Amino acid sequence: MNLSPHPSGAKGNSLVRQAMEAVTGHLREQKLRVGDTLPGEGHFAAELGVSRAVMREAFGALAALNVIDVANGRKPRVAAIDGSVIATSLGHAVSTAQVSVAQVWDVRRTLEVRTAALAAENRTEEEAAALLALVDAMAQEAEDLGEVTNLDIAFHTLIAQASRNQLFHQIVSSFSPLMEIAVPAAWRTRETDAERGSVLEHHRDVARAIADRDPESACSAMEKHFASSIGRILASTDA
Amino acid sequence: MNLSPHPSGAKGNSLVRQAMEAVTGHLREQKLRVGDTLPGEGHFAAELGVSRAVMREAFGALAALNVIDVANGRKPRVAAIDGSVIATSLGHAVSTAQVSVAQVWDVRRTLEVRTAALAAENRTEEEAAALLALVDAMAQEAEDLGEVTNLDIAFHTLIAQASRNQLFHQIVSSFSPLMEIAVPAAWRTRETDAERGSVLEHHRDVARAIADRDPESACSAMEKHFASSIGRILASTDA
């Protein structure tokens, strides 16, 4: 076996990659679901005829990619997707200037105009009430930038959740770390009460349209919200 | 140091997570770009006061997440984002039934209606010519399902590339493994020459609108393409 002394780097190591594919193949063939247990490293190492070191690295990479959960001393389990993996890619792409803030906002807008429409069709009563409550809370906390930011992120994430499409939900969630930086920057440019009021009204229009089960109005309110916010974001960054 | 004997599983291990954040923080603070080298595990282990095992695992996880390239015997380098990380999440979510094929197609359509418009604005002459050539090739290879699938994937990926937004490009690229399964399934339902011809015409309409630098027509042609294809996909899967 041609094992390097230092096997880090799943991409560069085809043995590790094959070991990863064997595990994901197992999940698929056995039709495993989130929370189901899977065999440990030893089982796969024996089955594939690879060393424990290779298998350990494959398990580590799959855990990093949120495919499996490997808590210490417990059996490995099938993991639920969450936005953190895409968030890491996204954060990396932005911090190394592979993608600009404006380009991230274009992707967000594209996705969220659709999640607004889907939320209008699929939201529960609780979600409709929670969205309106989040807008009220934003109005009350308008002076507290940190709190407004948290409420703003919660608002967009809840709409994505209410879309009932986990993929939209997780991609939109993955933008949260970037919003933690961009949202306060945008709010700082809104200096007058009138300016802040108009942003709140855009949020309220989105929430109302979703509560009214009106996908078209939800789309166009979200479009308006982004059209006005993107200008602010771009004014506040050198993107 | 409270190191578990078996440190796999970045999520469950906050030491590893802190080590990962130290590395991504370094990339950000030093304003490193794709291809730039960064210090090795030993440097970070000493700086953070953690063991080599922890640092090795952090580097392995960052390599799995495509943040750094760690080829054997070479210095670690800043990695370019590519769709493979999101593709792994996506493939996992579909194979474990967290997301349905129909939901993936909804996300694709949402993104690709936008990439079609951006491509119409930003494509190069070479890209416009290549898109039209891909449609011609699809018409010629209509009997060879494998080849048509490759051309179809290349067509959608090239449009995303021509959008000049790397984030759209990489997310759309991440759908390729799923398209390798879904596209042949959809083509098999197109039994008559007329049916296949109409799919080709949709592709040609998209390519022409992009070549004509006409974002609105590009959008509506892509909408039409998906509206007809999604019905086929759903007819051919139990999604």
Domain boundaries, chain A: 10-78, 84-236
Q: Are A41 and A55 in contact (CB under 8 A)?
A: yes
Please, are residues B169 and B160 in contact by the beta-carbon 8 Å criterion?
yes
The distance from CA A93 to its chain's CA centroid, rounded to whole angstroms, is 15
Query: A84-236 is classed in which CATH architecture?
Result: Up-down Bundle (1.20)
Distance of CA B148 to the CA centre of its chain: 19
Quick count: other Cβ atoms within 10 Å of Cβ B231? 12
For residue B73, report the phi and psi dihedrals to the nearest 5 degrees. 75, 0
- Residues from chain B that touch A78, judged by Cβ atoms under 8 A, are 96
Between A27, A34, A93, which is nearest B167 by CB?
A93
- Paired sense of beta strands A77-78 and B68-69, if any: unpaired
What mean pLDDT is reported for chain A?
Answer: 89
Put simply, whether B160 touches A (Cβ < 8 Å) is no
Instruction: Give the pLDDT confidence score for residue B184 in this predicted structure.
Output: 85
Ranges of chain B whose pLDDT falls below 50: 1-11, 238-239
- Residues of B in Cβ contact (< 8 Å) with A10: 60, 63-64
**pLDDT recorded at residue B239:** 41
Q: What is the pLDDT of residue A236?
A: 63
Closest by CA to B112, choosing from B168, B182, B35, B47, is B168
Judged by CB atoms closer than 8 Å, whether chains meet at B8 and A56 is answered as: yes
C-beta of residue A237 within 8 angstroms of C-beta of residue A172: no
pLDDT at A10 over 60: no
A74 Cα to chain B: minimum distance (Å): 11
**Which of A73, A89, A167 has its CB closest to that of B81?**
A89
Q: What is the pLDDT of residue B235?
A: 66
Task: Write down the number of H helices and E strands in chain A.
Answer: 11, 2
Residue B37 bridge partners (DSSP): B77
Q: How far is CA B124 from the centre of its chain?
A: 21
Whether ipTM tops 0.90, in short, is no
| pLDDT of A40 | 94
Task: Give residue B237's pLDDT.
Answer: 57
Q: Is A73 exposed, middle or buried (0-12, 13-18, 19+ CB in 10 A)?
A: exposed
Restricting to A residues 103-142, those with a Cβ less than 8 Å away from any Cβ of B are 103-104, 106-107, 110-111, 114, 118
Phi and psi at A209, nearest 5°, equal: -60, -40
Give the pLDDT of residue A157.
97
| A10-78: CATH number | 1.10.10.10
At A67, is the pLDDT very low, low, confident or very high (cuts 50, 70, 90)? very high
Q: Among A80-94, A116-130, B187-201, where is mean pLDDT lowest? A: B187-201
The predicted model gives A195-205 an average pLDDT of 90
Whether the Cβ atoms of residue B107 and residue A165 lie closer than 8 Å to each other: yes
Helix (H, G, I), strand (E, B) or coil at B65: coil
Q: Is B72 on the interface with A (CB under 8 A)?
A: yes
Give me the pLDDT at residue B187, please: 80
Q: Which two tokens stand for residue A25?
A: 């193949």
Verify whether the Cβ–Cβ distance A166 to B12 is below 8 Å.
no
Q: CA angle B38-B42-B44, nearest 5°?
A: 60
Amino acid letter, A5? P
**Is B107 close to A167, i.e. CB distance below 8 A?**
yes
Where does B114-190 show beta strands of DSSP type E?
Answer: none
Residues of A in contact with B72 (CB under 8 A): 4, 6-7, 9, 12-13
Give the rounded percent of residues in chain A with a pLDDT score beyond 70: 91
> Would you say residue A2 has pLDDT above 70?
no
Are B92 and A27 a contacting pair at CB < 8 A?
A: yes
Q: A63 and B106 in contact by Cβ < 8 A?
A: no
E-only strand ranges, chain A: 68-69, 77-78
How far is Cα B211 from Cα B218, in angstroms, rounded to an integer? 9
Enumerate residues 164 to 193 of chain B having a beta carbon within 8 A of any beta carbon in chain A.
165-168, 170-171
Question: How far apart are alpha carbons B202 and B206 in whole angstroms?
Answer: 6
Total beta-carbon pairs less than 8 A apart between chain A and chain B: 211
Q: Which residue has the tokens 């304003």?
A: B31
B110 interaction partners in chain A (CB closer than 8 Å): 110-111, 114, 168
Angle CA(A52)–CA(A74)–CA(B12) in degrees, nearest 5? 85
By the 8 A CB rule, do A117 and A218 touch?
yes
Name which of A11, A85, A103 is nearest B63 (Cβ-Cβ): A11
pLDDT more than 90, % of chain A: 67
Nearest Cβ partner for A32 among B8, B11, B96: B96
Contact yes or no for A9 and B103 at CB 8 A: no
Instruction: Write down the pLDDT at residue A7.
Output: 38
| Strand B77-78 with A77-78, pairing | unpaired
What would the mean pLDDT of A166-180 be, rounded to a whole number? 93
Could you tell me which residue, A157 or B74, shows the higher pLDDT?
Answer: A157
